[in-house]
Amino acid sequence: MSSRLLLLSGLGAIVAIGGVLTLAARSDPAPEATPSPEEIAMAEPVQAAAEPPAPSPDEPFVIKRILPINGPIRYGEWHWDEDGVPDGPLVITVDLDARVLSVFRGGYEIGATAVLLGSQDKPTPTGVFPITEKDIDHVSNIYTGAPMPYMQRLTNDGVSLHGSKVEKGFASHGCVGMPDPFAAKLFQMTKLGDKVYITRGKQIGMGDSLVEG
């Protein structure tokens, strides 16, 4: 606008500037009227979207403690500490990426171990599996009589938890193998129907639910 105004002279420039000021004054929005109390009362309140309630720390499946283990768990390594942990429902988790099995009682982690998992040809499945059978001295009737001490069956096609020699470079036929001492402790604690959650890379921590998501 300023370059156009420079082309005008004398009275014409004054008239043009006055017109611009008049248009500017007309283009200003009128002040908004203040609503009356009656209008405010009639207006519907805007409700914020409700957030899902956070799980209560008293719930038996909310994580309350994770064992203080420094660094990744090596093959053959296991940890167990249930001192002072109250009774509660048992949940077993297996992370295929971390190759770790964890045992929670009432939300407190009481055990953790490196595990042997299936190969690419016979992978360990993901999902939620209840324990359907237990046999302390089981011998495989599928894989040429292979010993499977402290066996806890998860599927009808042979996938189970059991004691094994957990070493790097070895794999199972889909089962979750644990060091024998750890497998013995777990075997004594579980009952039929207890659930094993097998996931791949799921991140959980303090305050998270073990059985949701």
DSSP string, 81-96: --TTPPP--EEEEEET
End-to-end Cα distance, the chain: 61
Mean pLDDT score, 91-104: 97
Higher-scoring residue by pLDDT: 140, 155: 155
Rounded to two decimals, the pTM is: 0.71
Share of the chain above pLDDT 70, in %: 71
Residue 10 above 90 pLDDT? no
Q: Report d(CA 204, CA 213) in Å as an integer.
A: 10
The domain limits of the chain are: 78-199
Please list, in sequence order, all residues whose beta carbon lies within 8 angstroms of the beta carbon of residue 32, skipping any fewer than 6 positions away. none
Tens of pLDDT, residues 115-140: 999 999 999 999 999 999 999 998 87
Tens of pLDDT, residues 25-68: 444 545 555 666 565 555 555 555 555 455 555 687 899 999 99
**78-199: CATH number:** 2.40.440.10
Number of residues in the chain: 213
Main-chain dihedrals φ then ψ at residue 142, nearest 5 degrees:
-110, -40
Question: Which 3 state secondary structure label does DSSP give 147?
Answer: strand
Q: Which pLDDT belongs to residue 11?
A: 37
Half-sphere exposure of 46 (CA within 13 A, CB side): 1
